Amino acid sequence: MVQPIGDTEQRQVEQKTEDYICQAEGIFGRPFDRIPVLFDLKGQTAGMFKTIGTRRLIRYNPWIFSKYFEENLRDTVPHEVAHFIVHEVYPRRGVKPHGLEWQALMARFGADPGVTFNLDLEGVPQRRQAKHRYHCGCQLHEVSTTRHNRAQRGRVRYQCVTCDGRLVYLS
């Protein structure tokens, strides 16, 4: 089992995050807020820029960073900082997450604008969601907890791609 990165490595990641924010300040000629950097991400994602209302933060996966430290310093840190900076510079929703503005900033950072993470995650703790059973007119379906919760809250309705029937929860 892979162990998460320790305090020393976390400080290195925080410093690299700060370095890219400083680089962005030079590129755009303006200051940017310093936002929290957390090491609480789990599963198959190495990093994430997240907004919660007006709060913004960057989350990193300490287990994936432990297994591929140099690769993540090189690729994941600028990737997430670029999401943050694009969010600040282009606050309107018309900008795609990995769109032209983000790609251009990644190029200015000298970082690969690829968005896929295709490394072996054996030994990295994985987040597993429970499955919930639904049915339609033709078959049974297993739906993730996230989708199940959205359906139960009435936010979405799921339909079968085979028979076009509405999915109904089997309680």
Query: CB of 69 within 8 A of CB of 92?
Result: no
Length of the chain: 171
Rounded Cα gap, residues 147 and 170, in angstroms: 14
Q: Tokens 């994936």 — which residue?
A: 64
Q: Let me know if 74 is exposed, middle or buried by CB neighbors in 10 A (0-12, 13-18, 19+).
A: middle
- In this structure, what token pair is assigned to residue 41? 């991400």
Q: Is residue 80 annotated as a catalytic residue, yes or no?
A: yes
Q: Which of 80, 88, 101, 122 is catalytic?
A: 80
Residues labelled catalytic: 80
